[in-house]
Structure formats: C-alpha cells, structure tokens
C-alpha cells in the first residue's frame, strides 16, 4: 500500500565537479541546512522546531490541537500500546489473503520476496485461538438442550407438576438445520451494522510480529490503481474536483459526514506512507547478499517527497493533519466501546497471559477515557430520511473500499491494508451503528440488542489504532532527525 508516486527520488541534485574541497564542504553544509530547515514549509529561514511548521493548531472538525494529541499519544498511549500489541490475543490475526479481486483481473502479483507473508506454524498458534468460541455461551449443547435450559417450573405450578401435568412443556424437535438457519438470520441482521464486507471463508492465522508493516518495493501502476480507485470511485467528492485527492480548499465545500469520510481515508493513507518511510528498505539489491533480511530504517528524503508542500502542491501538511483527525476518530470509538472491551475475556488458553492482557487493556482504555476533547460523532447523520440515506451511502462506500483490499498485489501490503481497513470499519461501526448509545453491561453476558464484536474486529481495532499511534510517534522521530 503506497502513495501515488513511484519510489524513485524526485528532483535533481546539483553536481559539483572539480571544485576545491572547501567549496564542496560548504555547499554540502548549505544544502543540509536548506533541507533541514524547509522540509514542511516555504524557503524562508526557520528554527529547528518549525520544520513541521504547517502541522500545528486545531485539527479540522475536532476541538483539540495537534500538540495536545502529540503529548497524549507519545507519552501516555504509545508506550502502553507497544506492550499490549505483543500479547498473543492481539498478535495473531485471522485473514484470507487468497480472495480474488472482484473489480479487475489481478495480473500484478508482487514477486519481491519482501512482499511475501511468512506463514504461521500451527504449533505457534495459542490453543485457545485454534477453536474460537462462537458468541453463544451454550457451545456444547444440542439445539434442543438450549431450549430445555429455559424450562423452569415455578412454585405456583408445583401442584400440577405433582400430578404429572407438564404445563411448561416446550416442543424441542427443532432440527439442527433449522437452528443453523436461525443463526444465519441473526448473522445477516448483525452484518447490516458492518462497515466492512464480512468474509465467509475462514482464512489463516498470521503472526503480525513476524510480518511487520514496512516498505516492500511494491510500487507502480498496481499500487497507484488501488488508491486511485479508493479516492476517485469511493470517496465523496465535491463537484468539479479532477484530482485524485481532494484539494483542501474544496473539502470544506462538502457536508460534515462527507468531510469525515474523506479525512479518515486520507488520514489512513498518510499513516501508511509514514510507516513505509520509517521502515524503508535502505540496503540496495547488491547489499542483500550481505544482509539477506534487508536493512530497514528511516528515510527522511522519502518522507519529504511524500508530504512536503513543494512536492505535493501544498497539500502534504493537510494530509498529515488528516492522520490526526483519524486518530481522534478511532480514539473516540475506543472510549465509547470501553465498557464493552473491558469485560471481554481475551481468551487464548494461557491463564497468566490472558490475565496480563486484561490488565493491560483495562489500563489503556482507562487512559483513553481521560482524554478531555473527544471527537463528537453525535452531530452526524441527523436530519431524518435524508441523513439515513447518506449514512447508508457512507456505509456502502466503505464496504467497497474493504473489497478493494483484495486487489492489492503485495501480500504483506494486503495483510496490513485489510487489517487497518477493518479496524477503521469497526470504529465506524462502534460510532454509528446506534447499538452502543445506551450500552450497559449486564452481570452475566452482553445482550445482542446492545452490541457485539467478533474477535477479528477487536484485534483489528486495537492494532489499527496502534498503527496510527506509531505514525504520530514516528513523526516526532523524523522531527529530531531533521534537526
């Protein structure tokens, strides 16, 4: 998953031939100062702290600032997420990477070895994940047993019971086939709340720690077509907007709901690009024989190419701000779902591991809830029938984007694309399904009338937010590198 440009560096480099050594060193020093002082601004001089000068102030459609999010994330959230995401429950993600592209012939499979996903060995999968428990707590009972469990004879019926008159008798001859049909009906009803297409095939477990998101070399027409299809065909767009991306001056021409959709997609795109720049393949092909696993690190020049105003028509800083917007959107979803998420078992079969995971998730969610200026989703999709039509259109657009992930030609890019899209889709489901508005946890279980999340949704939600958190953390590291 990469930007619209190929990965070759842009711009020329002044060549100094046959000049005195002193002059050469002077030119290098001047060039370095120019790069470090003007990465995200104009050509006027700046102090070191102003290289991201346009990335500041209020976050669009939110009530907080970039600086507030930087501090909250880098000091409070990021360290906790790093400890949480290595836990087995969040480390293993079940995904199907073999689904065919539903929109065009997939003729661009990436042959670069860094595109491949390292398979997960069966012995490495926690025993509790191999046989994931369905949502119904009566997992070992037959259909008739499930209904018998509700048959209780009250005290007032005891006299009739003594005479062998079973007034409370229920016909328990419902077949397993009919019961499965009932479950399919329920699954269909639940799926109406989803912002991502539900995969019916099971897929396979992938160890996310063995397959980190980073630059793989996947580029060119195939990568460009993915993002072009997302922006041009599935993003809401103002009239007469010919660009693949939407110019910031025209974003405000759209209603709030359409702005939220665009900024969320743009923010995810920015986050992915930052991951690629922070974990860039630095070793050349000739060096891979010496370091076959590759040498990965920060590429400041590549970050400049993707985000500086000079190379993006002035839009790069706005794209970075959209990352902060998406962070706020998903942060709000976590806060809203916290009462639910704090009551899950996070079961993997390892009692000590599961206990530590519950403590870690409770800790981070308690911190999330302390953020003072959360995104306000309640102002969206109000206004009767028109608003509900827009909400359904919003949902269908996002479902299309989730389908496009099957068209990514690089398996590792597809893995992280699917995970982050599902994570964002889960956040949207939490915010806008309407089932979580009056959520109150009961003593024994959760009512489906309120809310339910599949395990893959929980894993993608937390990992997806972890990717945004790391992007913001990496931006601070880039600031220090540039200084």
Whole-angstrom distance, CA of residue 277 vs CA of residue 300: 7
pLDDT of residue 42: 37
- Evaluate if residue 198 carries a pLDDT over 50: yes
Contact call for residues 475 and 320 (beta carbons, < 8 A): yes
pLDDT of residue 463: 98
CA-wise closest residue to 236 among 256, 215, 209? 256
- Encode the chain in three state secondary structure: CCCCCCCCCCCCCCCCCCCCHHHHHHHHHHHHHHHHHCCCCCCCCCCHHHCCCCCCCECCCCCCEHHHHHHHHHHHHHHHHHHHCCCHHHHEEEECCCCCCCCCCCCCCCCCHHHCCCCCCHHHCCHHHHCCCCCCCCCCCCHHHHHHCCCCCCHHHHHHHHCCCCCCCCCCCCCHHHHHHHHHHHHHHHHCCCCCCCCCCCCEEEECCCCCCCCCCCCCHHHHHHHHHHHHHHCCCCCCCCCCCCCHHHHCCCCHHHHHHHHHHHHHHHHHHHHHHHCEECCCHHHCCCCCCCCEECCHHHHHHHHCHHHCCCCHHHHHHHHHHHHHHHHHHHHHHHHHHCCCCCCCCCHHHHHHHHHHHHHHHHHHCCCCCCCCHHHCCCCCHHHHHHHHHHHHHHHHHHHHHHHCCCHHHHHHHHHHHHHHHHHHHHHHCCCCCCCCCCCCCCCCCCCCCCHHHHHHHHHHHHHHHHHHHHHHHHHHHHC
- Whether this model's pTM surpasses 0.85: no
pLDDT, average across residues 176-200: 64
**Could you tell me the pLDDT band of residue 353, with boundaries at 50, 70 and 90?**
very high
Binding-site residue ranges for FAD: 214, 216, 227, 266, 269, 306
CA 35 to chain CA centroid, Å, is: 32
User: Residues 238-251: pLDDT tens digits?
Assistant: 766 666 777 777 88
- Evaluate if residue 143 carries a pLDDT over 50: no
Contact call for residues 42 and 309 (beta carbons, < 8 A): yes
Contact call for residues 264 and 236 (beta carbons, < 8 A): no
pLDDT, average across residues 287-293: 58
Whole-angstrom distance, CA of residue 81 vs CA of residue 176: 43
Residue with tokens 């006299």: 159
Whole-angstrom distance, CA of residue 406 vs CA of residue 196: 12
pLDDT, average across residues 100-123: 82
Binding-site residue ranges: 214, 216, 227, 266, 269, 306
Whole-angstrom distance, CA of residue 318 vs CA of residue 259: 13
User: Residues 449-471: pLDDT tens digits?
Assistant: 456 899 999 999 999 999 999 99
Strongest mean pLDDT among 55-64, 206-215, 443-452: 206-215
Annotated catalytic, 62? Answer: no
**Could you tell me the pLDDT band of residue 136, with boundaries at 50, 70 and 90?**
very low
- Evaluate if residue 3 carries a pLDDT over 60: no
Q: Which residue is catalytic, options 62, 64, 115, 410? A: 410
pLDDT, average across residues 14-19: 37
- The residues facing 297 across adjacent strands are 280
User: Residues 259-285: pLDDT tens digits?
Assistant: 999 999 999 999 999 999 999 988 755
Residue with tokens 């889709």: 425
Contact call for residues 133 and 347 (beta carbons, < 8 A): yes
Q: Which residue is catalytic, options 110, 120, 235, 413? A: 413
Q: Provide the percentage of residues in the chain whose pLDDT is more than 90.
A: 46
CA-wise closest residue to 69 among 366, 372, 303, 352? 372
More confident site: 416 or 109? 416
Contact call for residues 476 and 70 (beta carbons, < 8 A): yes
- Evaluate if residue 229 carries a pLDDT over 80: yes
- The residues facing 93 across adjacent strands are 206
pLDDT of residue 59: 86
Residue with tokens 């599935």: 234
Annotated catalytic, 410? Answer: yes
Contact call for residues 328 and 37 (beta carbons, < 8 A): no
Whole-angstrom distance, CA of residue 61 vs CA of residue 59: 6
pLDDT of residue 15: 35
Q: Provide the percentage of residues in the chain whose pLDDT is more than 70.
A: 69
- Evaluate if residue 164 carries a pLDDT over 60: no
């Amino acid at each position: 998953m990469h930007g619209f440009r190929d990965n070759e560096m842009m711009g020329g480099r002044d060549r100094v031939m046959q000049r005195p050594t002193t002059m050469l060193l002077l030119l290098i020093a001047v060039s370095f100062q120019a790069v470090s002082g003007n990465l995200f601004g104009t050509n006027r001089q700046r102090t070191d702290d102003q290289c991201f000068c346009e990335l500041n102030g209020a976050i669009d459609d939110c009530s907080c600032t970039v600086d507030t999010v930087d501090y909250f994330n880098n000091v409070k959230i990021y360290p906790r997420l790093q400890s949480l995401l290595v836990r087995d429950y969040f480390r293993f993600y079940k995904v199907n990477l073999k689904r065919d592209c539903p929109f065009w012939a997939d003729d661009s499979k990436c042959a670069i070895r860094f595109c491949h996903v390292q398979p997960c060995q069966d012995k490495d999968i926690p025993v509790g994940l191999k046989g994931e428990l369905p949502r119904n707590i009566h997992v070992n009972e037959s259909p008739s047993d499930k209904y018998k469990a509700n048959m209780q004879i009250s005290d007032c019926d005891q006299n009739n019971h003594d005479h062998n008159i079973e007034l409370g008798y229920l016909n328990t001859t419902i077949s397993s086939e009919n019961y499965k049909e009932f479950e399919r009906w329920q699954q269909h009803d639940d799926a109406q709340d989803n912002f991502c297409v539900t995969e019916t095939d099971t897929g396979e477990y992938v160890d996310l720690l063995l397959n980190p998101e980073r630059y793989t070399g996947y580029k060119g027409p195939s990568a460009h077509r993915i993002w072009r299809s997302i922006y041009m065909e599935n993003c809401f767009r103002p009239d007469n907007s010919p660009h693949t991306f939407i110019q910031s001056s025209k974003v405000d021409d759209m209603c709030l709901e359409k702005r939220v959709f665009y900024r969320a997609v743009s923010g995810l795109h920015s986050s992915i690009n930052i991951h690629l720049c922070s974990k860039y393949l630095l070793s050349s092909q000739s060096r891979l024989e010496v370091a076959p696993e590759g040498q990965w690190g920060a590429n400041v020049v590549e970050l400049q190419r993707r985000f500086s105003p000079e190379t993006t028509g002035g839009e790069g800083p706005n794209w970075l701000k959209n990352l902060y917007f998406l962070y706020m959107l998903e942060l709000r979803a976590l806060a809203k779902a916290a009462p639910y998420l704090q009551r899950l078992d996070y079961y993997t079969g390892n009692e000590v591991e599961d206990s530590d995971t519950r403590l870690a998730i409770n800790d981070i969610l308690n911190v999330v809830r302390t953020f003072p200026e959360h995104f306000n989703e309640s102002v969206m999709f109000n206004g009767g029938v028109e608003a509900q039509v827009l909400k359904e259109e919003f949902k269908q657009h996002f479902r299309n984007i989730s389908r496009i992930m099957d068209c990514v030609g690089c398996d590792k890019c597809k893995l992280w694309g699917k995970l982050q899209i599902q994570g964002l889709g889960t956040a949207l489901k939490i915010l806008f399904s309407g089932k979580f508005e009056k959520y109150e946890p009961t003593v024994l279980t959760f009512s489906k009338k309120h809310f339910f999340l599949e395990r893959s949704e929980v894993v993608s939600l937390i990992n997806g937010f972890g990717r945004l958190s790391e992007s913001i953390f990496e931006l601070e590291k880039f600031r220090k590198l540039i200084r």
